[in-house]
Amino acid sequence: MIQAIKGTRDILPEEAETWQRHERIARAVFARYGYREIRTPVFEETQLFARGIGSETDIVSKEMYTFEDRDGGSLTLRPEATAGIVRAVIEHNLAQSDPMLKLYAIGPMFRREQPQKGRQRQFHQINVEAFGMSRPSIDVEIVELALTLLAECGVGGCELLLNSVGDAHCRPAYLETLRGALAKEKARLCADCQRRADVNPLRVLDCKVPADQPLIATLPKITDHLCAECRDHFAEVRRQLDLLGIAYRVEPRLVRGLDYYVRTTFEVTSSALGAQNSVLGGGRYDGLVHELGGPELCGIGFAVGMERLALIPAAEGESAQTRRCEVFLVPLAPGALDRALLAQRGLRAAGRSALLDHEGRGLKSQMKKADKLGARFVAILGEDEQARGVWTVRNMASSAQEEVPEARLAEYFRERLDG
């Protein structure tokens, strides 16, 4: 039997309904904040990610799915969404045509990581990006938007972690300080961090190896080495978060796993996820657009993993019955199927979800099916009802029944389902 490739999984119908719910919520929340959807290809030129993400990141050096195209070019399945969105912004000159460039995207990403619960080699993200706004208030809006999305998706036990990673003016000096501190202790670190200590010391702070954590905790903090502008920017972000009553914890080791971040970085964790508790993260990337060949255009955004999001309702014990239809039609009499098909068509045209059993089973069997489908009402058409031109309608919650003239069926359900 052929099975799904390691690190991929099928999203079966029951789980897909949870994903659809989260996507509907996301689209509604983003619309309130003025964000519009963009859809980019799932593969791009490899250099887009090497330049955008950083060649010394684990993503680029270890995890990308890269292949040679037939014309000899190098292509890569997207490991994250921001670089592709930035490429689209530059290619289509979106910053010139949109007075307030706010975008979101939903789709699959690909990284060759070790599969674990909530993390696959093909995974799915909701991404949000805002361009051309440099003041701290957009940082705060992005954080507020992220927390609003999680709250409306039912995610509880959230904590916002916040940091500033400086910029091109102050970060180089901090990196030299960090490199000097690491040189004395490098031999005690894991093999990956020994390599990072030389080529990209900031990545050491992002290490997840438990044995390295005590040493990493003693390293110089980037928040103690910010220039005046970055310090003021971070202070204003915190002031506005306080103003809005948004709780946070400053975490000086929070650098995220991508080289393009500057100044504000943040992460949201949820106690509902256990040890691997990160559900959302993001930050500023003011130099990325220019680095990829575009204008000097600042940007900020975040990404939330759909797999992680889908785990949380189960972790909190939510198991609401899935409602597949509002009305289940039960044709029992000879010739009743034709009238049921016409009724089903009329109900659907009126905006109601309606189903019927196509196999002609008995009443008891069909009532069980209606219950499993979560139907709110069952409409029965037996010989007696057919002769009198009525349907017997049963409310599945109260078990109350009444007869409804066939001509009034759509109106009857409109009144009860919309009322």
Q: What is the CATH number of the domain that holds 234?
A: 3.30.930.10
- Domain-located, residue 282: yes
| Cα four-point dihedral sign 23, 24, 27, 29 | negative
Among residues 285, 315, 345, the one where a domain terminates is: 315
Cα three-residue angle 260-29-156, rounded to 5 degrees: 80
Q: How far apart are CA 129 and CA 81, in angstroms?
A: 10
Q: What is the pLDDT of residues 20-32, one digit of tens each?
A: 999 999 999 999 9
State whether 53 and 145 are in the same domain: yes
- Domain-located, residue 193: no
- Domain-located, residue 301: yes
- Domain span at residue 165? 13-170+226-315
Q: Nearest 5°: phi and psi at 323?
A: -100, 110
Residue 17: strand pairing partners: none
- Domain-located, residue 230: yes
Q: Which residue has the higher pLDDT, 271 or 69?
A: 69
State whether 144 and 233 are in the same domain: yes
User: Can you give the pLDDT at residue 308?
Assistant: 87
Residue 45: strand pairing partners: 75
State whether 31 and 145 are in the same domain: yes
Beta strands in 51-121 (DSSP E): 66-68, 74-77, 102-110
Among residues 315, 344, 377, the one where a domain terminates is: 315
Name the band, by pLDDT with cuts 50, 70 and 90, for residue 207.
Answer: confident
Flag whether pLDDT at 315 surpasses 70: no
State whether 276 and 357 are in the same domain: no
Nearest Cα to Cα of residue 376 among 396, 362, 405, 358: 396
* Percent of the chain topping pLDDT 70: 95
161 backbone φψ class: left, alpha, beta (φ>0; ψ -120 to 50): beta
State whether 243 and 126 are in the same domain: yes
Of 64-78, 309-323, 363-377, where does mean pLDDT reach its minimum? 309-323
State whether 279 and 311 are in the same domain: yes
User: Can you give the pLDDT at residue 396?
Assistant: 92
- Domain-located, residue 207: no
State whether 366 and 296 are in the same domain: no
State whether 275 and 341 are in the same domain: no
State whether 137 and 277 are in the same domain: yes
CATH assignment at residue 341:
3.40.50.800
Q: How far apart are CA 80 and CA 58, in angstroms?
A: 13
User: Can you give the pLDDT at residue 401?
Assistant: 94
Residue 108's SS3 state is strand
State whether 343 and 307 are in the same domain: no
- Domain-located, residue 208: no
Considering the entire predicted model, what is its pTM?
Answer: 0.81
- Domain-located, residue 3: no
Work out the end-to-end distance of the chain between its first and last CA atoms, rounded to an integer number of angstroms. 50
Q: How far apart are CA 24 and CA 17, in angstroms?
A: 10
What's the rounded mean pLDDT across residues 339-347? 92
State whether 128 and 276 are in the same domain: yes
Name the average pLDDT for the chain: 89
State whether 118 and 267 are in the same domain: yes
Q: Which residue has the higher pLDDT, 342 or 211?
A: 342
Domain count, the chain: 2
User: Can you give the pLDDT at residue 120?
Assistant: 87
Question: Are 404 and 390 contacting, i.e. CB atoms less than 8 angstroms apart?
Answer: yes
- Domain-located, residue 187: no
Report DSSP state, residue 112.
-
Among residues 315, 342, 370, the one where a domain terminates is: 315
